Amino acid sequence: MGKIITKNLNLWYGDFRALKNVNSVFNANKITAIIGPSGCGKSTLLRVFNRMNDLIEGVKMDGEVLVEGKNILNPGTDLVSLRKKVGMVFQRPNPFPLSIYENVIFGEKIHGDSVKKDKLHNIVEESLKSVLLWDELKNRLNESAMRLSLEQKQRLCIARLIAVKSDVLLMDEPCSTLDPQSTSRIEELMRELKNSYTIIIVTHNMQQAARVSDDTGFMLLGELVEFRNTHEIFTAPRDKRTEDYITGRYG
Amino acid sequence: MRKFKEFVIEKLILICGIASIFFVILIFLFLLKEGLSVFGTVSPFNFLFGKSWYPISEPPQLGILPLILGSLLVTLGAAIISIPIGVGCAVYIAEVAPGRIKEILKSGIELLAAIPSVVLGFIGMVTLVPLVKNIFHLPTGLTALSGSIMLAFMAMPTIVSIAEDALYSVPKTYKEGALALGATHWQTIWRVILPAASSGILAAIMLGIGRVIGETMAVMMITGNAAVMPNSILAPVRTLTATIAAEMGEAVVGSEHYFALFAVGIVLFVISFIVNVTADLFLHKKQ
């Protein structure tokens, strides 16, 4: 049983159909990569899972998206608890212009009623430890997060999600602004995190998909062309279009 | 030939650029020259902190403390009224209002800015002043409070439009990040967007206040113009600006009264200079 399942998912921006009958199963404790050329709808698909597309005017969806068995496209869906459960890491690291400490406990502050100080401190320590930032930053917790390096910022954004105990981490090209060393360290972190989280990553970078993911979906013009085990899709793609893409004939 | 043209145009632009500074310096020098003469008759301390302003008595008493307090009282009142409403309005326009309402509100604010201050003063005189008089059972409604309320309307357009710009320039990624963490719209505004825009909003407030301090016509019409030490916001007051406007016409050129009014001008100049520089500091901190 998948953590996230889409059934005949369609999405329109006004008249433009950005997703066409997407059927997919994202499994828990695995990293699933979504690849495809620019404008193929991979970010759009990712933003369905935490309903971030709602911010765009004129979005229409039909079909079903089940997160732990519940259809999140239902009008009555509680977006606050959905987004708590399904967290998102963005392309450009976007820590808030607050201190490092405040960034980590941001979620706890908006969700919790009144949390004790030592409990907050524990949350900060654990979250920063799980993204391997604690040792570097433990003496700088009150500094502004804007002064961190890009990689540290991206880790902090992941720590922010861990602090609210998200189950699913949606990552929208999380390494595209990072240098190769930082990228490989973030990938390492992803492999570590997948034991406790379901990770879905959208990436331009096919090598990255091949390196980190267990399953891969290839999208083209709003269609999920092929969705299978990463090893299989890269060594023996079944669809001609997938093969053309991964061998670099376009994209 | 082409080189010559370039040269001429370059120098012309240079002159235009220097001109504005040059005029400011000239105005300031003129103010200084005329204003500082007053300190031959009255010490700077007695001028700033003297409690009586009787410029045509014999000998003249030239203490501007009541005028400074009048200006401060009216400005403070206007700030207390206009800051929450102005910032709230900016937040509504920038973050909440749907497209059409946003356009209507923005043009409404622009219209408010376009109303001449004498018209605002006139409207205040016939509507607000009697209202204040009746509500508080005062002998006259021409009070600092009436002035504050009217001036709040004048500060609002500045505060709203600059604060709105500041809110717009907060990167959308902050908003997305907060919403994606499950923050509600209000939590996003309160905890992320407002702190991120805070320096721009402070600049907006300072510029709004700057406008209030310099305003003359409306305050002259509705604050009662009594140059006495104000004991409450419900008392008539007179501001620095209104004093100059009301008395310059009858002051004999070269008299102590005349020089004193210029010195009042220096005080005003210094106050608005400080306010503007502060606003500028906030604006630059943002970048």
Instruction: Identify the segments of chain A with pLDDT beneath 50.
Output: none
Nearest CB neighbour to A110, from listed B176, B191, B196: B191
B174 to chain A: which residues are within 8 Å by CB? 94, 96-97
Name the pTM for this structure. Answer: 0.82
Tell whether the model's pLDDT for residue B97 goes beyond 80.
yes
Structural domains of chain A ordered from first start: 4-92+167-246 (3.40.50.300)
Q: Among all chains, which residue has been given the structure tokens 């207390």?
A: B80
What is the percentage of chain A residues whose pLDDT exceeds 70? Answer: 98
**DSSP annotation of B252:** P
Q: Give the pLDDT score at A130.
A: 87
**Nearest CA to CA, how far is B180 from chain A (Å)?**
6
Q: Cα dihedral sign for B15, B21, B27, B33?
A: negative
pLDDT of res. A1: 64
Domain boundaries along the sequence of chain B: 48-286
Q: Which residue of B has its CA nearest to A83?
A: B182
Residue B245 has pLDDT above 70, yes or no: yes
Whole-angstrom CA distances from B44 to B57, B64, B264 are: 19, 10, 11
**Residue B286 pLDDT exceeds 60:** no
* ∠ Cα A148 A88 B178 (to 5°): 70
Which pLDDT score, from 0 to 100, does residue A117 have? Answer: 79
Confidence of residue B57 (pLDDT cuts 50, 70, 90): confident
Contact A80 B184 (CB under 8 A): yes
**Smallest Cβ distance to B181: which of A97, A98, A106?**
A106
C-alpha B208: how far from chain center: 5
Q: Is the pLDDT of residue B287 over 60?
A: no
User: B 128-167 residues with CB below 8 A of A?
Assistant: none
Residue of chain B whose alpha carbon sits nearest to that of A107? B181
Nearest CB to A96: which of B182, B184, B192? B192
In chain B, % of residues over pLDDT 70: 99
Q: Which among A55, A81, A97 has CB closest to B182?
A: A81
Q: Which of B145, B12, B152, B26 is nearest to B84 (CA)?
A: B152
Task: Give the pLDDT mean for B18-29.
Answer: 92
Over 60: is that where the pLDDT of B152 sits? yes
Res A128: pLDDT: 93
Q: Does A164 touch chain B (CB under 8 A)?
A: yes
Interface membership of B169 toward A (CB under 8 Å): no
- Answer whether A110 sits within 8 Å of B180, measured CB to CB: no
Question: For position A187, what pLDDT does the model report?
Answer: 93
Residue type, A148: L
Q: For the residues B242-255, what does the mean pLDDT come to?
A: 89
Residue A79 CA to residue A50 CA, distance in Å, equals 8
pLDDT (0 to 100) of residue A250: 74
pLDDT at B127: 94
Closest Cβ–Cβ partner in A92, A97, A164 for B181: A164
Instruction: Choose the mutation target among B169, B172, B181 for the interface with A, i.e. most A CBs under 10 Å.
Output: B181
* DSSP 8-state symbol, A54: G
Average pLDDT over residues B162-179: 92
Asked if A90 reaches chain B (Cβ–Cβ under 8 Å), the answer is yes
- A246, exposed or middle or buried, with CB in 10 Å at 0-12, 13-18, 19+? buried
CATH superfamily of B48-286: MetI-like (1.10.3720.10)
